[in-house]
Amino acid sequence: MSVSDTDNAYEVLIPNIYIGQRVDQTLASLFPQFSRSRLQNWLARGNLLIDGEIIKPKTKVLGGEQIIILDTQDGEESAFQPENIPLEIMYEDDSLAIINKHKNMVVHPGSGNWSGTILNGILFRYPSSKNIPRAGIVHRLDKDTTGLMVVAKSLEAQIDLVRQLQSKSVRREYYALVNGQAPNRGTIDQPIARHPRNRKKMAIVSNGKDAVTHFTTIDRGEEWSALSCLLETGRTHQIRVHLTSIGHSLLGDKTYKGNTKKHVALLDTLSFQRQALHAKSLTLVHPSTRELMNWCSEIPDDLQSLLTELKAYDIE
């Protein structure tokens, strides 16, 4: 099938940072919204072409190849469709945009969430982002984590930002409310991978990916603490898993059982139905100007109300 015979669902050039990787591994990195098996099926049947050809999954990437995903005919085309999703933009220029993510927003399309995501909103607001892997998204936040995330508006900016993340030079600070009286400060250096029995969860696993979280306690009460957390790495559910591992799980985090009986009653009263985690500060080098830039996001109202009620409970 020639490329000109059909409309393309997605076209993108492979960045040079993937040189030497296998094609199937590169595709999984560039298109996390699709499973590895689906991508491999598309490769096998010619719905996904590399430089116009069907390529074996083990082929090594040279850099600069053109990926074309053709009409998949399987109902997942909506994952790539622009939608007028309201996005709070803290800052934008020709190279990047800083989004202040609200709660209950999915970043990437995926199983059960094929529309209404931040990626769909980016495609609507910035049509040219369809030519950038992941529509320029270089890191993600969980559905119910609020706060700052950066989006690249050009391939060059994305490559630069990814390199900054890989070199651990991007400073990402989170505000967290947790169970118990946490130590004044600490570093959690434990590898993370998929939970061996529950695939919806992550866990500390000896052969997992390196993960490092630094934390400082900035406030505490009888049965709670407010923490400032700095990420050295960015693994899925990293803060949630790491803090749970030291006995200070996030308030409201049902996945990692983060509530005492007392806190359950309080959270129900406030209708607080998410993990108490907010990405409050982001610092990075601008990919074009090389200026060191910082953005801050205020603690959202629901998290501030929870803190107020926790302090009130201490007084009673």
Whether residue 270 has pLDDT greater than 90: no
Per-residue confidence band for 187, with pLDDT thresholds at 50, 70 and 90: very high
Whether residue 104 has pLDDT greater than 70: yes
Spatial separation of the C-alpha atoms in residues 23 and 59, rounded to whole Å: 6
Per-residue confidence band for 260, with pLDDT thresholds at 50, 70 and 90: confident
Render 11-72 in DSSP notation, one character per residue: EEEPPGGGTTSBHHHHHHHH-TTS-HHHHHHHHHHTSEEETTB---TTPBP-SSPEEEEE--
Per-residue confidence band for 277, with pLDDT thresholds at 50, 70 and 90: very high
Per-residue confidence band for 4, with pLDDT thresholds at 50, 70 and 90: very low
Catalytic residues: 142
Read off the tokens for 60. Answer: 């090594």
Instruction: Return the DSSP state at 237.
Output: T
Give the percent of the chain with pLDDT over 70: 92
Per-residue confidence band for 179, with pLDDT thresholds at 50, 70 and 90: very high
Q: Which of 223, 269, 287, 270 is nearest to 249 (CA)?
A: 223
Question: What domains are there in the chain, each with its CATH number?
Answer: 10-72 (3.10.290.10), 75-166 (3.30.2350.10), 168-315 (3.30.2350.10)
Per-residue confidence band for 2, with pLDDT thresholds at 50, 70 and 90: very low
Mean pLDDT (the chain, rounded): 89
